[in-house]
Amino acid sequence: MSALKGKRKEYLTVKDLQKVLDSCKLHLNQIDEVWPNIFIGNVAVAQTKTSLLKLDDSTYFDLDVYFQPAADFIHKALKSPDGKVLVHCIMGMSRSSTLVLAYLMIYRHLPLKQALQKLIQKRAIYPNRNFLALLLDLDLQLTRKKKTCQIL
């Protein structure tokens, strides 16, 4: 039985991810290039309507339905000549970074923890607990999909 314990895969928790995020020593800027030609910024950088300022970051918002469409959009934009993408939200910390993390996981095949570590080298981000949980679900789905493809 103890041999099985040593081989059991340790799964990440939201608390583990928050520890990674807490290790970031960067100051929050209005905009940062977090991956080649991918920028995360706040609303001041991309503001087109004053109504954007009234938006709030809900801890219950189902952002995961936008993971694939946002990742597809970013991927398509970066494939075009001189393609660059600005991903923004009010503070440039939670929603925007969550969507960039989803892109890195889906198209760059980075595990969630590695994607987090890459981004916090470039920008002070802090996805809320709900978004971290949604990213953990995505990470698990992508890991399962990868294992299934390897078996086939």
Q: Which of 89, 90, 101, 138 is catalytic?
A: 89
23 versus 3: which is more confidently predicted? 23
Model's pTM, two decimal places? Answer: 0.74
Query: For 100-150, how does the pLDDT look when each residue is reduced to its tens digit (9 = 90+)?
Result: 999 999 999 999 999 999 999 999 999 999 999 999 999 999 999 888 887
Mean per-residue pLDDT for 75-82?
95
DSSP string, 56-122: ---TT--GGGGHHHHHHHHHHHHHSTT--EEEE-SSSSSHHHHHHHHHHHHHS---HHHHHHHHTTT
Domains of the chain in start order, with CATH, are: 27-47+62-147 (3.90.190.10)
To the query of whether residue 89 is one of the catalytic residues in this protein, the response is: yes
